[in-house]
Structure 1
Amino acid sequence: MDTVTAGTGHVRELVDRHLERFLDQQMGRLGFLGEVDVELVREFLAAFVLGGGKRLRPSFVYWGHRAAGGERPEAVLPAACAVELVHAAALLLDDVMDEAGSRRGRPAAHVALAGVHRRSGWRGDPGRFGESAATLLALLALSWADAALLETGPRLGPALDILTRLRVEAIGGQYLDLARTAGAAGEQVSVISLYKSGKYTVERPLHLGHAIAGGCADTRRTLSAYALPLGEAFQLRDDVNGVFAEPARTGKPVGADLLQGKATFLLAEARRRTGSAFLDHITDERGVAVARELIVECGALDAAERRIAALADEAVAALDRPPGIPPDARQALIELAALSTGKAR
Structure 2
Amino acid sequence: MDAVLRGFLDAKERAAPGGELPYLTTTLRTMLTGGKRLRSVLCVYGWYAAGRPPEPLETAIHAAASLELFQVFALVHDDVMDDSDTRRGQPSAHRALAAAYTDSGGPGARAEAHGMGAAVLLGDLALVWSDELLHTAGLKPRRLAEVLPLVSEMRSEVMYGQLLDLCTTGRRPSGDVDAALHVIRYKTAKYTMERPLQIGAALAGGSPEVLEACSAFGIPLGEAFQLRDDLLGVFGDPARTGKPTLDDLREGKATVLMAHAVRNASTAQLKLLRKRVGDPDLSEQQAVLVREILEDTGAREAVETMIEERRDVALRALDAAPFTREAAACLRDVARTATVRQV
Rounded to whole Å, the distance in 2 between the matches of 1:278 and 1:166 is: 38
Give CA-to-partner distance per residue, 1:84-133, whole Å, 9 cap, x none.
11101111111111111111112111112112222333356210100010
State the one-letter code of the partner of 1:195.
Y
Correspondence 1:63 to 2:45: yes
SS of equivalent to 1:33 = coil
Rounded to whole Å, the distance in 1 between the matches of 2:124 and 2:78 is: 13
Correspondence 1:27 to 2:21: no
State the one-letter code of the partner of 2:329.
Q
Correspondence 1:143 to 2:128: yes
Question: Conserved in 1, the CA contact under 8 Å of 2:13 and 2:22?
Answer: no
Question: Conserved in 2, the CA contact under 8 Å of 1:101 and 1:253?
Answer: no
Question: Conserved in 1, the CA contact under 8 Å of 2:318 and 2:328?
Answer: yes
In structure 2, the partner of 1:336 is: 334
In structure 2, the partner of 1:293 is: 292
Give CA-to-partner distance per residue, 1:188-242, whole Å, 9 cap, x none.
1111110000000000101101111111111111111101110110110010010
Instruction: Please report how far the alpha carbon of residue 145 of structure 1 lies from its aligned counterpart in structure 2 after TM superposition.
Output: 0.3
Instruction: Please report how far the alpha carbon of residue 152 of structure 1 lies from its aligned counterpart in structure 2 after TM superposition.
Output: 4.0
In structure 1, the partner of 2:64 is: 80
In structure 2, the partner of 1:5 is: none
Question: Conserved in 1, the CA contact under 8 Å of 2:9 and 2:25?
Answer: no
In structure 1, the partner of 2:203 is: 212
State the one-letter code of the partner of 1:97.
M
Correspondence 1:134 to 2:119: yes
Change (3 A) 1:204 1:71: same
Rounded to whole Å, the distance in 1 between the matches of 2:31 and 2:223 is: 26
State the one-letter code of the partner of 1:17.
A
Rounded to whole Å, the distance in 2 between the matches of 1:122 and 1:255 is: 31
SS of equivalent to 1:61 = helix
Correspondence 1:114 to 2:98: yes
In structure 1, the partner of 2:222 is: 231
Q: Aligned Cα RMSD in Å? A: 1.8
Instruction: Please report how far the alpha carbon of residue 247 of structure 1 lies from its aligned counterpart in structure 2 after TM superposition.
Output: 1.2
Rounded to whole Å, the distance in 2 between the matches of 1:152 and 1:241 is: 39
Moved more, 118-127 or 299-308: 118-127
State the one-letter code of the partner of 1:16.
D
Rounded to whole Å, the distance in 2 between the matches of 1:297 and 1:47 is: 40
Question: Conserved in 2, the CA contact under 8 Å of 1:261 and 1:279?
Answer: no
Give CA-to-partner distance per residue, 1:124-176, whole Å, 9 cap, x none.
62101000101101111001101110114111122222111111100110111
State the one-letter code of the partner of 1:309.
E
SS of equivalent to 1:262 = coil
**Mapping for residues 4-43 of structure 1, pairs under 5 Å:** 15-30=1-16, 32-34=17-19, 37-43=20-26
Structure 1 residue ranges, 4+ long, deviating more than 3 angstroms after superposition:
182-187
Instruction: Please report how far the alpha carbon of residue 296 of structure 1 lies from its aligned counterpart in structure 2 after TM superposition.
Output: 1.3
Question: Conserved in 1, the CA contact under 8 Å of 2:225 and 2:339?
Answer: yes
In structure 1, the partner of 2:274 is: 280
In structure 2, the partner of 1:303 is: 302
In structure 2, the partner of 1:48 is: 31
Unaligned runs of 5+ in 1: 1-14
Question: Conserved in 2, the CA contact under 8 Å of 1:113 and 1:134?
Answer: yes
1:243 corresponds, among 234, 243, 246, to 234
Rounded to whole Å, the distance in 1 between the matches of 2:14 and 2:288 is: 48
In structure 1, the partner of 2:261 is: 270
Unaligned runs of 5+ in 2: 277-281
Rounded to whole Å, the distance in 2 between the matches of 1:308 and 1:295 is: 16
State the one-letter code of the partner of 2:259.
A
Change (3 A) 1:119 1:22: closer
Instruction: Please report how far the alpha carbon of residue 75 of structure 1 lies from its aligned counterpart in structure 2 after TM superposition.
Output: 2.6
Correspondence 1:125 to 2:110: yes
Question: Conserved in 2, the CA contact under 8 Å of 1:261 and 1:280?
Answer: no
State the one-letter code of the partner of 2:31.
F
Instruction: Please report how far the alpha carbon of residue 182 of structure 1 lies from its aligned counterpart in structure 2 after TM superposition.
Output: 4.1
State the one-letter code of the partner of 2:25.
R
Question: Conserved in 2, the CA contact under 8 Å of 1:68 and 1:210?
Answer: yes
Aligned residue pairs total 326
Rounded to whole Å, the distance in 2 between the matches of 1:181 and 1:219 is: 36
Rounded to whole Å, the distance in 2 between the matches of 1:236 and 1:288 is: 19
State the one-letter code of the partner of 1:145.
S
SS of equivalent to 1:254 = coil
Rounded to whole Å, the distance in 1 between the matches of 2:147 and 2:83 is: 33
Question: Conserved in 1, the CA contact under 8 Å of 2:51 and 2:324?
Answer: yes
* TM-score, normalised relative to structure 2: 0.90
In structure 2, the partner of 1:12 is: none
Instruction: Please report how far the alpha carbon of residue 268 of structure 1 lies from its aligned counterpart in structure 2 after TM superposition.
Output: 0.6
State the one-letter code of the partner of 1:291.
V
